[in-house]
Structure 1
Amino acid sequence: MGIPAFYRWLVERYPRAAVSVIEDEPPLLDTTGPNPNGYEFDNLYLDMNGIVHPCFHPEGLPPPKSYDDVFRAVFNYIDRIFSIVRPRKLLFLAIDGVAPRAKMNQQRSRRFRAAKDAADEASWRESKIESEEEKSTSLEQSMKLDSNVITPGTEFMELLSSSLHYYIRLRMNKDAGWQGIKVILSDANVPGEGEHKIMSYIRLQRNLPGYDPNTRHCLYGLDADLIMLALATHEIHFSILREDVRGAGPNDKTVKCAKDSLLASQQGEREYSKPMEVVDENVEDYVSRQKFQFLNIWVLREYLAIDMKVRGFKTKAKLERLVDDFVFMCLFIGNDFLPHIPSLEISEGAIDLLMMVYKKEFVKMGGYLTNSSKVNLERVEHFVQAVGFHECAIFRRRTQMEKERELRFRRFSRNKPSSYSSKPMSQNPLNSSAVDIQTQMHRIDTGINANVDKIKLGEKGWKERFYVEKFEAQTEDECKRILRNAVSKYIEGICWVMHYYYEGVCSWQWFYPYHYAPFASDFHGIDKLNIEFTLGKPLKPFDQLLGVLPAASAHALPLFYRELMTDMSSPLLDFYPTDFKLDMNGKRFSWQAICKLPFIEESRLLSEIAKVEHTLTDEERQRNSFSLDALFVHTSHPLAVKILAFCKRKVGHPKLSNAKVKRKINPKFRLCMVKIFPIEAVHVKNAAFEGALFLLMLFHGKLPLSWFRVL
């Protein structure tokens, strides 16, 4: 995702950090037994978007026919992960809510690209359909299963939240393993990305009196940046659960999971997954071969302590500071908020280069690059300049490798098969490697797009050509102005990301205003920058939908919002181009292309939204609002007794609606839960769900904890 190929690099360089998951032989119904992996976990955190996406559009398998099928697959997916980890204190399910503007630009690019691919797919399907009725049915089905609806504010996300509420109550009533834990559901109406809501929760717990530093955490998710976030917590007992990127062969014998489970996602680092084969199988057969791994952060920390050992420094280097610097350096290679530095590619040894330069220049720099979220800009300039000295050599080597690769492809093309699938290349799910080979040959044969190299990196004048071509600078003065601004904004972005990783959002509105990053050798004068951020506030869900969805997905929005995207007289129509440039930018695969989309002007967007917001129905207003995290505990849980006792004393009090009550809960009963509960309103209902309690709370840094509700 944000750091392509990072996980593959990590498990190859530090092989003992990743271990295969051991599962009990089926049937497994009791999750209260000891964990077969040899150690127990206290808390399990699920980045739910890594589950929902593969359930919504599984690669290499027929798509689900309805939302119910998607939800059923999600439930079974969670069941398997729960049976692997078996948390003893907490399960946290986090769905992406409204994201900071810096992330929205990437979301916009992905969704526009998905819509473009879907249009190609639909066109191909329509060419095979003769009946008008069948065409209409096909169009309705494609709108229903548009993966772009996996965005806060849509009807699908509201239904997903309701379904998870049902699922959690069901499991608490039926599974003894669920009855002894707390379950927190942070749905799409709670602002923030899922993984960062999880990290915010962990940070809050670490700062509470009575917190157990030996708490064992397990985080499930597919994005490589989860590894960085786990390192940034400085929690020793931390593991990340994810699928084995090396893939499972058709003859591998692994245990079967619960019926109707869905395959683990290949989306995160699909370029390194095993190509999908056309096999005669159902979902259960495929999932039975799916392998999982634990990436143990405590082992990775030991590796880094050895690999980043600094010599010649006046004092012994501190591991925690080295870990923070490692996280910081990797930001230049890739993240979800900034384009990576052009000369740094993991597949070309970029991380090894950064670590080598870091150790070599550590003493000259004067020490560490960072102090938690704080960045020492003077040392960073020294470090990045040192990396920049290698750029010309990197580009010359890259050019030579590209020439050799094209020569191999030309040889292959002379003997290529006479025909390929007539299905659009970007949508052939059966063998992505073959599709991308065909794409590469098409580029070579026709001489289009990235095959016409106007920049010629590494040759004389390559910098000037780069900024003219990519940043569209017209004159030398304009080139210098753009360069200074790009470097300034990029360093702002690096500081923004570090704050986001270590403390949370420091600005909801900030974003990097270019599609490309400057060169490392151009980072001059950054030590003189005065970097400050204004916190601002998140957009509403419908506002974000208008900011990230293409016009083809307008069906996910209310009518008058939809018209802002599709009406030819709309003042926002330029935000939703139906055709846009895809820049391969030297990449080999078509899906790696950069989408040259116009950036959203937030003030203009919000101004037009204000004119139609009054047209929303009550149900739509609810979808467009913010909510709180939901906590579920069974009545047999020790915390439930404390909550009920408190509620009995406060319910019916005439001044309760205006009360600001603080109540401390004994850490013995809290079991990794927030300490203070400011309360404005409490409502109690009969135990309609066989004793399960439902509690609403808010766990977001500096935002107030306003109220909770027990059902």
Structure 2
Amino acid sequence: MGVPAFYSWLTEKYPNVREPVKQVMGSSSDTNSPNSNDLEFDHLYLDMNGIIHPCFHPHSLMFPPTTFEQVFENIYAYIDRLFSIVRPRKLLYLAIDGVAPRAKMNHQRSRRFRTAKDNEIAELEEKKLREKYEMMGKRILPVLESQVSDSNVITPGTEFMFELSNALKSYIVRRLESDPGWKDIKVIFSDANVPGEGEHKIMSFIRSLRSVPGYDPNTRHCLYGLDADLIMLALATHEIHFSILREVVNNVPDEQPLSESALLSTIQRAMAEVRVLDESNKDYKKPFSVWDKSQSMTILPQNYEFVHIWILREYLELDMQISDPPEKFVFDLERIVDDFIFMCVFMGNDFLPRMPTLEIYEKGVDLLMHVYKSEFKNLGGYLVDMQQVNDPHFSFIKLKRVEKFILSVGSYEEKIFHKRTEKREKMLKRILSELEQSRKLDADESDDDSSDVCITDAMCPKLSTGVEKLDAQDYCTNSISDIKDMVENTKALKDELKNCLRKNSDIFKDGVFSSDKVKLGSAGWKQRYYKEKFSVEDPKEIEILRKDIVQKYTEGLCWVLLYYFSGIPSWDWYYPYYYGLFASELKGLAHVEVKFRHGTPFKPFDQLMAVLPPKSAHALPKAYRDLMVSEDSKIADFYPKEFEVDTDGKRYLWRGISKLPFIDQEKLLNTTCELESAIEVNEAVRNAETTDRMFWRSSNSCAEVHLEYIVQHTEKREEFRNALHEDQFIVCCDLILRVASLRAPRLLEGVQIPEKTVFENDISKTLLWHEYRGGRQPVTRPLVNRFLRRYEVEEQHWRAKEATDEPVMHKNAGTGWSGAGRGNGSGSYASTSYSNIPQNRPSPTNYRQPPSSAPSRGWFRPQPPVPASSSNRSSVTPSFTTNVNRSMESFRPSPIQANSWRGRAMYHNQSGSFWPSRNGPDRHQNPAWQGQRPTWRPSCPNAGYGNSPLPTEGCGQGRGIGRGLGTHSSDRQ
């Protein structure tokens, strides 16, 4: 998972690292043709767990898969799409997560126990809603039995993972036989029985590949995955030509639109089948399900983007310049990159908890970078030297410098906690105000709707508690319109369930606020932290505990660094506390001695016992289940039915910390060892440790070039001759990577550095979060770039829809500068308002200087959008102006636009305050608003027209409470 929200921070600060992927939506492409993105890649690596999870429980599908085979079909389609985007020319590497090191198991255990608990709550809520709909006379689709209802089976050792491994091997052979784009590549498959996390198995392969004599340092790598730590891992390889392929997750609709034609065709087929059975007098009814292959296999097309590591390196080279370096200092970008990776470890990850001092949402990484640059001279140099990564004395980490660095970060704690407290108080006041308004509205509505039926828990037992299984005849007795109503009712139920669960996860709902026992920033907050989080109060006990935490945390820093740069240093080590320490409490870090015992990985069944909750005991082999669910089990205390979730100071339940008992490794392994002899033969295969498998076509003459240096071909060699000519076949063999004499993590000789694309004016001055007043971040160039980037991504999704000329109407909330409201949304522009706008718009990279009289501070002022039409949609691009010192981006219409475009803004100018719609030249008659924030937002009884800063914000018409009435136009359909 990496650092939560790290990717959002990175792309906001360094927007040019992203590049939209060009792909043909909804049609097949020739994978042997040149890449449409003007980038050719040699190797494609797939972190398969990032593919398995969305295919297992896709949120975009109305009807999710219910069988293993349906999930496998989704995965095949997903891989095909990624392969079509990247089109590797030499190698495809598919890596599934195997048994994880113990340091990661604690995180997996917590996540799986929470998943089981959340699923249980969701099932109860869904049952209540189904009973409610039944009482209201609304028929809904039944719940079908499913093989894939529990996502916890996506863990090594389960039947699902074993079947998936076999399915993917068959898939690889089929593609090598039939797809022209696959014929010249090697395919390496690392399944769940190969120990290690998928992304780290990939990095181990890359490190070994770099050590091969004759390796091309200009090999182009592409890695697919959504985990934020993939960026750290890619940087740690010191491979210049490295890109990460990601989905644009914030641009995906919540649910795939229901295909009416597919639904009707399914219903007609089912009705025809029932008639045939009835005419032949067969006493059999074929079950009808709208979850048939034609629909459940459909995956919603996604937008993708590349994250280019070489551009990120350019940003870091400029942004990490040391203004006051020590004597004889030599700037080394490779060591700067290593220090950046190390600093990000303090933000928390899957192996170490986040320290309370730092929050990614509060620009914690910016603070670390600021301290690093300002204190570099006092530190005495770089924090780490990863060229010494293999030194057994851990000389690669300079602990004295690290202690000085982190204590300097701790000096900002009081200011950070003070502002954090201020923001919390403001948020609580705002929520209380919104709740009060909501209660008043609910009271008014209850007077009008007093006749509505209210479903209570007391009424639920009167209803049937079971879910009735309906077959084809039940559906066919209804008209097609009735079936469609049932589907729409089911969709409404799902939406209501989603909203209900979201509301329940908000601890502040109904004005019930969680306690804040520590009260960071108030006098005595450190003592309260130890009391509440570690249950110690005596100063001597606190000091003993603090020293032990410092010891374990320092070990964790070294462990993570080694894991990123050279591989797993210890399979057994883990951080034995739920919480981290404050930065100011890490005193004595320089005196810690670090030693690791390498150990061995768990067997798959042992890991299942370590991470699965009792609700998922069905995924275990039969002989192991009683150990988890029986009260008489020797390890019953490992599997509590209830456990504490610490939400102190948190707003949402999902941000709470699950305080599960840590697994006693020796006790667990001794207990499971007694049962290994009772494992059935077909189950023993799932518990075995295997190695990577390599597939290639026999006609691929370059398949084994260089591989003899990094792999060992075992006797286990297979040949597949099913569909090819006799002289061509698919070869498969085991691979064992060599790990000796790895090259240092530095640029290799002969690498070609790409031409620079980032310059000094692309680096904006960082204002630390705790230094500016108020909750809203000052407007900076990165914010403008974020708007521009969002526009580009939206337009790509938009172009894919241009083939349909049918108008689309949505009900949505309008957003813009004049307010917000509920109403009908339209995808068209008000052409009468914008007919005179010039069509030749500059690109977003062209900036116009404002007049010298322009104010240095102000608000976003967007250009009016060009009318949407089939001829000019592809050329619609927002343009902006900027002032000289870039302290404020100014969005001012050109003189031609200001004269030809009649802005229609309704506002009240009471008490000198002004809330402009920012879309008309008449606002320049009162320039005073530009120098101050508006203090009053009126509720206008008349319609006002406003434009959002991008033509993608949606549109709507309706009355917004306390916000006025506004109509907002956009291109969004």
- Output the TM-score relative to the length of structure 2: 0.62
Question: What is the aligned partner in structure 1 of residue 525 from structure 2?
Answer: 462
Given the alignment, which residue of 294, 301, 319 partners 2:313? 301
Please say which of residues 116-125 and 412-421 is displaced more in the overlay. 412-421
Are 1:200 and 2:263 counterparts? no
Question: What is the aligned partner in structure 2 of residue 694 from structure 1?
Answer: 732
Relative to structure 1, is the Cα distance of residues 602 and 702 closer, same or farther in structure 2, using a 3 angstrom cutoff?
farther
Relative to structure 1, is the Cα distance of residues 548 and 139 closer, same or farther in structure 2, using a 3 angstrom cutoff?
farther
Question: How far off its partner does 1:122 sit?
Answer: 2.5
Are 1:56 and 2:78 counterparts? no
For 1:330-409, what aligned pairs fall within 5 Å after superposition? 330-372=344-386, 373=389, 374-409=396-431
Deviations 1:420-447 (A, max 9, x none): 9999xxx977796885456436456234
Are 1:517 and 2:529 counterparts? no
The answer (yes or no) to whether the contact 1:410–1:441 under 8 Å persists in 2 is no
Partners in 2 of 1:422 and 1:328 — Cα distance?
54
Q: Indicate the SS of the match to 2:227.
A: coil
Question: What is the aligned partner in structure 1 of residue 465 from structure 2?
Answer: none
Partners in 2 of 1:522 and 1:444 — Cα distance?
37
For 1:259-270, what aligned pairs fall within 5 Å after superposition? none
Structure 1: gaps spanning 5 or more residues = 132-136, 254-280, 641-664, 704-711
Question: How far off its partner does 1:560 sit?
Answer: 2.2
Amino acid of the residue matched to residue 403 of structure 2? E
Question: How far off its partner does 1:684 sit?
Answer: 5.2
Amino acid of the residue matched to residue 300 of structure 2? V
Amino acid of the residue matched to residue 221 of structure 2? H
Deviations 1:337-371 (A, max 9, x none): 11111111111010110000000111111100011
Question: How far off its partner does 1:532 sit?
Answer: 1.1
Question: What is the aligned partner in structure 2 of residue 10 from structure 1?
Answer: 10
Normalized per residue, which structure has more helix? 1
The answer (yes or no) to whether the contact 1:436–1:589 under 8 Å persists in 2 is no
Relative to structure 1, is the Cα distance of residues 586 and 98 closer, same or farther in structure 2, using a 3 angstrom cutoff?
same
Question: What is the aligned partner in structure 2 of residue 552 from structure 1?
Answer: 615
Question: How far off its partner does 1:127 sit?
Answer: 4.6
Question: How far off its partner does 1:24 sit?
Answer: 3.5
Question: What is the aligned partner in structure 1 of residue 22 from structure 2?
Answer: 22
Given the alignment, which residue of 506, 515, 523 partners 1:440? 506
The answer (yes or no) to whether the contact 1:60–1:429 under 8 Å persists in 2 is no
Deviations 1:297-345 (A, max 9, x none): 0000000001111123232310000000000000111211111111111
Question: How far off its partner does 1:566 sit?
Answer: 0.6
Relative to structure 1, is the Cα distance of residues 375 and 635 closer, same or farther in structure 2, using a 3 angstrom cutoff?
same
Q: Indicate the SS of the match to 2:559.
A: helix
Relative to structure 1, is the Cα distance of residues 432 and 11 closer, same or farther in structure 2, using a 3 angstrom cutoff?
farther
Question: What is the aligned partner in structure 2 of residue 149 from structure 1?
Answer: 153
Question: What is the aligned partner in structure 2 of residue 101 from structure 1?
Answer: 102
Question: What is the aligned partner in structure 2 of residue 579 from structure 1?
Answer: 642
Partners in 2 of 1:59 and 1:371 — Cα distance?
44
The answer (yes or no) to whether the contact 2:93–2:188 under 8 Å persists in 1 is yes
The answer (yes or no) to whether the contact 1:20–1:293 under 8 Å persists in 2 is yes
Are 1:162 and 2:163 counterparts? no
Relative to structure 1, is the Cα distance of residues 60 and 581 closer, same or farther in structure 2, using a 3 angstrom cutoff?
farther
Are 1:493 and 2:527 counterparts? no
Relative to structure 1, is the Cα distance of residues 685 and 9 closer, same or farther in structure 2, using a 3 angstrom cutoff?
closer
Amino acid of the residue matched to residue 384 of structure 2? T
Partners in 2 of 1:350 and 1:684 — Cα distance?
52
Aligned residues: 635
For 1:32-181, what aligned pairs fall within 5 Å after superposition? 32-61=32-61, 62-127=63-128, 141=145, 144-181=148-185
Deviations 1:361-406 (A, max 9, x none): 1111110001114211110000000000001111111111011111
Q: Indicate the SS of the match to 1:539.
A: coil
- Aligned residues with identical type, % of pairs: 48
Q: Indicate the SS of the match to 2:645.
A: strand
Question: What is the aligned partner in structure 1 of residue 238 from structure 2?
Answer: 234
Partners in 1 of 2:600 and 2:162 — Cα distance?
22
Question: What is the aligned partner in structure 1 of residue 437 from structure 2?
Answer: 415
Partners in 2 of 1:144 and 1:286 — Cα distance?
17
Question: How far off its partner does 1:250 sit?
Answer: 9.6
The answer (yes or no) to whether the contact 1:361–1:383 under 8 Å persists in 2 is yes
Question: What is the aligned partner in structure 1 of residue 263 from structure 2?
Answer: none
Instruction: Give the number of the structure with larger relative contact order, counting CA–CA contacts within 8 Å between residues 6 or more apart.
Output: 1
Q: Indicate the SS of the match to 1:631.
A: strand
Are 1:287 and 2:300 counterparts? yes
Relative to structure 1, is the Cα distance of residues 493 and 441 closer, same or farther in structure 2, using a 3 angstrom cutoff?
closer
Partners in 2 of 1:491 and 1:604 — Cα distance?
27
The answer (yes or no) to whether the contact 2:507–2:653 under 8 Å persists in 1 is no
Relative to structure 1, is the Cα distance of residues 432 and 473 closer, same or farther in structure 2, using a 3 angstrom cutoff?
farther
Q: Indicate the SS of the match to 1:375.
A: coil
The answer (yes or no) to whether the contact 1:169–1:689 under 8 Å persists in 2 is no
Relative to structure 1, is the Cα distance of residues 575 and 139 closer, same or farther in structure 2, using a 3 angstrom cutoff?
farther
The answer (yes or no) to whether the contact 1:208–1:674 under 8 Å persists in 2 is no
The answer (yes or no) to whether the contact 2:712–2:735 under 8 Å persists in 1 is no
Partners in 1 of 2:229 and 2:634 — Cα distance?
37
The answer (yes or no) to whether the contact 1:172–1:178 under 8 Å persists in 2 is yes
Partners in 2 of 1:535 and 1:559 — Cα distance?
31
Relative to structure 1, is the Cα distance of residues 618 and 570 closer, same or farther in structure 2, using a 3 angstrom cutoff?
same
Partners in 2 of 1:433 and 1:114 — Cα distance?
18
Partners in 2 of 1:138 and 1:508 — Cα distance?
46
Amino acid of the residue matched to residue 200 of structure 2? H
The answer (yes or no) to whether the contact 2:92–2:188 under 8 Å persists in 1 is yes
Question: How far off its partner does 1:144 sit?
Answer: 4.3
- Output the TM-score relative to the length of structure 1: 0.84
Deviations 1:225-266 (A, max 9, x none): 00000000000000000011431469999xxxxxxxxxxxxx
Relative to structure 1, is the Cα distance of residues 149 and 285 closer, same or farther in structure 2, using a 3 angstrom cutoff?
closer
Question: What is the aligned partner in structure 2 of residue 506 from structure 1?
Answer: 569
Please say which of residues 503-512 and 690-699 is displaced more in the overlay. 690-699
Q: Which has the larger radius of gyration?
A: 2
The answer (yes or no) to whether the contact 1:150–1:156 under 8 Å persists in 2 is yes
Amino acid of the residue matched to residue 687 of structure 1? R
Structure 2: gaps spanning 5 or more residues = 135-140, 258-293, 390-395, 447-453, 458-492, 742-973
Given the alignment, which residue of 656, 661, 665 partners 1:602? 665
Question: What is the aligned partner in structure 2 of residue 655 from structure 1?
Answer: none
Are 1:211 and 2:212 counterparts? no
The answer (yes or no) to whether the contact 2:59–2:254 under 8 Å persists in 1 is no
The answer (yes or no) to whether the contact 1:243–1:292 under 8 Å persists in 2 is yes
Question: How far off its partner does 1:636 sit?
Answer: 1.5
Question: What is the aligned partner in structure 2 of residue 593 from structure 1?
Answer: 656
